[in-house]
Copies of this chain bind each other. A is one copy, B any other.
């Protein structure tokens, strides 16, 4: 944490480092912009690529001192761990298989962690991270971006307050089409590592976007999966991992659900959508039209709730930045995730005790649930879409 010396009043500004996100990468810059949105943290160190030249150039473009640009994450964790002006948190935006060792290395140095999902290929690794974070008293955020949308928070709150009654059925889907052809064979970078078991783990589609689907359903409803049966498909010739999946789920409350996840669904960009049916009403939210929430109550006309216009619950309203009709999108949702995380960190740094309300960002527990979901889906599919206890 650095103190602003320019003004009379001290401003707590957090510092952070990043692993991954060099030139040619996509999501790293989204993280940086999302963090910068609310000016709560400053990037001061990084290991942006396995290619040190890339790290140097990325670092220079971002105004980072060369002494804090590293050749390897291990070196970085060690060096930063020793500094008096230690990083407040590290952001991990590497291919999936590296999430676990990097997160572990920084936790061990007493540095809070923000990590992309899925948290780890293996459940035990994800659980180890949880254990470690708890032991060290560190915050751990897994960037399930879609939890940052105001209307998602509104949906969550409506469910919690019983506005749609007891939940009966959830239909969640996440179709994309960017892997409808074997673009990995032509070297497209995003496709190459995601479809490569060595870098991404045992699942592609169900890991990359299936975990978002599972997380969104869980985040909004609070329901826990009890059993599931999954069928993972690989439609594109030559591909090893799944590019489409159907999952039937049963929740501990007795509610049921179905998830459809696809990367071969021609015509869909990033079409995450969830529909939740209760005894009194229903909710529908679509990520591609995120400023609205469709609400139906038995016997009443369907309503379209508009962010920034209609009366929202406080947890939603405080994540809405501008008036209705001025669209907010993906960056703002991401910024909301970071805003909650950095607010919690600032409070923690002051020594205050964090409440549940302070922890309205996706935690390591959600990361663990995601890893478990992926693992169970793969196992069920291998057993012929058999039903498995969760």
Contact = CB atoms under 8 A, between A and B. Distances in A.
Contacts of A306: 269, 301-302
Interface residues of A, number: 96
Interface string A290-305: 1100111111111111
Interface string A152-185: 0000000000001000110101001110110000
A331 B294 CA distance: 24
Contact of A61 (B11, B65, B231, B258): B11
Contacts of A62: 39
Given A303-B302, A327-B329, A331-B328, A296 B387 contact: no
Given A267-B284, A325-B270, A231 B246 contact: no
A271 B306 CA distance: 12
Interface stretch (A30-38, A88-96, A366-374): A30-38
Binding site of A, secondary structure by majority: helix, strand, loop or mixed? loop
A169 B9 CA distance: 52
A179 to B, nearest CB: 11
Contacts of A258: 246, 258, 260
B330 A330 contact: no
A282 B267 CA distance: 7
The count of identical subunits is: 4
A64 interface: yes
Nearest to A63: B4
A383 B245 CA distance: 23
A198 interface: no
A30 to B, nearest CB: 7
A367 B258 CA distance: 27
Contacts of A260: 171, 258
A350 B92 CA distance: 37
B248 A266 contact: no
Contacts of A83: none
A355 B297 CA distance: 38
B329 A328 contact: yes
A173 to B, nearest CB: 8
A61 B4 CA distance: 10
Interface of A: 4, 6-9, 11, 13, 26, 30, 33, 36-37, 39, 57, 59-66, 164, 168-169, 171, 173, 176-178, 180-181, 229, 231, 233, 235, 244, 246, 248, 256, 258, 260, 262, 264-271, 275, 277-282, 284, 287-291, 294-306, 308-311, 321-332, 384-385, 387
8 contacts: A6-B63, A36-B36, A264-B277, A266-B282, A321-B331, A327-B327, A328-B330, A329-B331
